[in-house]
Amino acid sequence: MRTLLTPMKNENIFSKTLEMAIFIGVMTILIVLNVQKSNDTTLLSIGDFLGNSGNDLFLIISNLILIGWAWRKKLKSIIMLTLFLDFLVWIFVQGIKLLKIAPWYLRPNGGTGGFPSGHATHAFGMAFLLSLFFPRFSWLWYFCAVAISWSRVETNWHTGFQVAAGVILGVGLAWVLVAKWLTHPDAAIIKPKTIKQEQNVEVRQSYVAD
């Protein structure tokens, strides 16, 4: 992964990232609300992998990509942004689960703590960050997030509504955090800045990882 200098404007990058998150989030919500558990053994096995090992791998790899790249570029605020998103997802999801909002907190498999889906929340939150800094692979980040979200319904751990709530919470948290981060000096990574070329001509450019 290398850092490319591209003539992109900050507001365009952020708005496009948000628009993509909302669009894919809505599509995912429609899927989980309308597609019922299949009872197919093959799909169940796939869903079980995605909801367990697959989810863990996605979160570990996404954190390593963001933190490793930011560390190499000496962008400490992006490291803090990533870790703070991880922390907030845990706080919000667990805090809401403790409220035991009836009847939403009941899982379809008979357990409790189903509202909201922490898997969907974290997957979509990380997909948002990854798409912001590595837009070329947005399709991959969101494919993983959608697959993980679907798996929670297929494996009977969550209802479609619980997953939908997780999708909304994940996008919402990432949106708020990134909007706040844009006021930080490190936001030059996507924020337009004026630089002087050798010909002493001023141009507006910004960095984006690709």
What's phi and psi for 53, nearest 5 deg?
A: -60, -40
Low-confidence ranges of the chain (pLDDT < 70): 1-11, 188-210
Which residue has tokens 């297929």? 154
Q: What is the pTM of this model?
A: 0.87
- State residue 28's pLDDT score: 97
Whether the CB-CB separation of 142 and 131 falls below 8 Å is answered with: yes
Q: Quote the tokens at residue 206.
A: 């910004």
Report the 3 state secondary structure along the chain: CCEEEECCCHHHHHHHHHHHHHHHHHHHHHHHHHCCCCCCHHHHHHHHHHHHHHHHHHHHHHHHHHHHHHHHCCCHHHHHHHHHHHHHHHHHHHHHHHHCCCCCCCCCCCCCCCCCCHHHHHHHHHHHHHHHHCHHHHHHHHHHHHHHHHHHHHCCCCCHHHHHHHHHHHHHHHHHHHHHHCCCHHHHHCCCEEEECCCCCEEEEEEEEC
Name the residue ranges covered by the structural domains of the chain: 23-34+42-183+203-209
Beta bridge partner(s), residue 208? 4
- State residue 38's pLDDT score: 86
- State residue 91's pLDDT score: 97
Neighbouring residues of 43: CB distance < 8 A, sequence distance ≥ 6:
154
Q: Quote the tokens at residue 183.
A: 């006021």
- State residue 9's pLDDT score: 54
- State residue 174's pLDDT score: 97
- State residue 190's pLDDT score: 66
Whether the CB-CB separation of 155 and 27 falls below 8 Å is answered with: no
Neighbouring residues of 27: CB distance < 8 A, sequence distance ≥ 6:
146
Q: Quote the tokens at residue 173.
A: 């948290």
